């Protein structure tokens, strides 16, 4: 069993070196540059998502306080708790400011 497993590991390593050799060819330099750029920009993307979620969360808290007690049904349903308020805030930020039944929230 051990020699067979060792042989399979050697074959996998050989395949990996062949793939790396192909990627180092001249035609793939641009692809590698793009991949390195994506990997380098990933932490910035994560921080941008965190900042966006923070803005949505704070806005949702404010909207929940201001609109969560409004006696109009579709407004109350859209802002009665924080997760629903976050979803509604996100949807309104991108132009879909309707409730579940496609009734405009703010008329």
The domain locations on the chain are 2-93
Phi then psi for residue 30, to 5 deg, are -65, -40
Please provide the DSSP assignment of 20-86 as one string.
HHHHTSGGGHHHHHHHHHHHHHHHHHHHHHHHHHHHHHHHHHHHHHHHTT-SSHHHHHHHSSHHHHH
Query: Residues for the chain: how many in total?
Result: 107
Average pLDDT over residues 65-73: 83
Q: What is the pLDDT of residue 42?
A: 96
75 confidence band (pLDDT: 50, 70, 90): confident
1 confidence band (pLDDT: 50, 70, 90): low
pTM over 0.75: no
Q: What is the pLDDT of residues 48-66, one digit of tens each?
A: 999 999 999 999 999 999 8
């Amino acid at each position: 069993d051990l020699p067979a497993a060792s042989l399979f590991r050697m074959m996998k390593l050989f395949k990996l070196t062949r793939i790396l050799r192909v990627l180092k060819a001249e035609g793939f330099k641009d692809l590698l540059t793009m991949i390195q750029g994506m990997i380098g920009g990933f932490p910035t993307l994560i921080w941008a998502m965190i900042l966006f979620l923070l803005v949505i969360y704070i806005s949702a808290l404010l909207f929940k306080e201001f609109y969560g007690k409004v006696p109009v049904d579709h407004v109350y349903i859209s802002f009665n708790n924080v997760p629903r308020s976050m979803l509604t805030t996100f949807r309104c930020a991108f132009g879909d400011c309707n409730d579940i039944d496609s009734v405009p929230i703010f008329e």
